Structure formats: structure tokens, C-alpha cells
């Protein structure tokens, strides 16, 4: 598969919920951790803003792989599926 991440994600259909299904349990813990989520998320949902010292969570881009639920070393991400028919639909499966 070729193309940029953005081009590849374009093949997925999203129905975006108003409320995030991803919750950072303790935002202050993100100040001192290694920000692993900025690297393991395949959809670039997590992005640390060093100026604002804040973790931005673009939940509307989540492909619901579940990695962040398991991989955050601090277990600081609460993960649930989007409810009410929201979330993603894969074009090819
Ligand atoms: Fe990223 Fe996967 Fe977590 Fe969604 S479930 S935020 S795609 S790591």
C-alpha cells in the first residue's frame, strides 16, 4: 500500500461522535511520561503540544485498533468503543 498516512486513512469512513470515546485519565501524568502514544498510534490521534504542555487527542481520526488501551505504560488512556453507531466503517472488511 502506498501513499501518505492521510491518504490511506481517507479510505476509511468515519461517523464522528460529538463526545470522545478516548479519555486521558490524568492529564498531569502526561507532563512527565515519554509520550509513547505519539508513536504507537497508527492514526496519529495523539500529539503532544510542547508549548501548551498538553496532549491533543484527535479522537475523530481513531481507527479503533485498541493499541492505546494496552500500550500506554501508565495505563492512562480510558478506551471504549464509540456508541450509538458512531465510529468507523472499513471499506474493505
Ligand atoms: Fe490510535 Fe488505535 Fe488508540 Fe485509536 S485505538 S487512538 S487508532 S492507538
Q: What is the CATH number of the domain that holds 76?
A: 3.30.70.20
Residue-wise pLDDT tens digits, 37-78 = 999 999 999 999 999 999 999 999 999 999 999 999 999 999
Using 50, 70 and 90 to split pLDDT, how confident is the model at 33? very high
Residue 72: domain span: 21-83
Return the residue whose CA atom lies nearest to atom 4 of ligand 1: 62
Examine residue 90 and state whether it is found in any structural domain, yes or no. no
Selected residue with higher pLDDT from 59 and 5: 59
Return the residue whose CA atom lies nearest to atom 1 of ligand 1: 41
- CB-neighbour burial class of residue 81 (10 A; exposed 0-12, middle 13-18, buried 19+): exposed
Ligand 1 atom at minimum distance from 22 CA: 6
CA distance linking residue 8 with residue 5, whole number of Å: 5
Examine residue 92 and state whether it is found in any structural domain, yes or no. no
For residue 92, pLDDT over 70 is answered with: no
pLDDT of residue 1: 65
pLDDT of residue 87: 93
Amino acid at each position: 500500500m502506498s501513499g501518505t498516512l492521510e491518504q490511506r486513512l481517507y479510505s476509511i469512513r468515519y461517523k464522528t461522535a460529538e463526545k470522545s470515546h478516548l479519555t486521558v485519565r490524568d492529564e498531569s501524568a502526561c507532563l512527565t511520561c515519554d509520550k509513547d502514544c505519539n508513536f504507537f498510534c497508527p492514526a496519529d490521534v495523539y500529539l503532544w503540544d510542547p508549548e501548551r504542555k498538553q496532549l491533543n487527542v484527535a479522537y475523530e481520526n481513531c481507527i479503533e485498533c485498541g493499541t492505546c488501551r494496552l500500550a500506554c505504560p501508565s495505563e492512562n488512556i480510558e478506551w471504549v468503543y464509540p456508541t450509538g453507531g458512531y465510529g468507523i466503517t472499513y471499506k474493505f472488511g
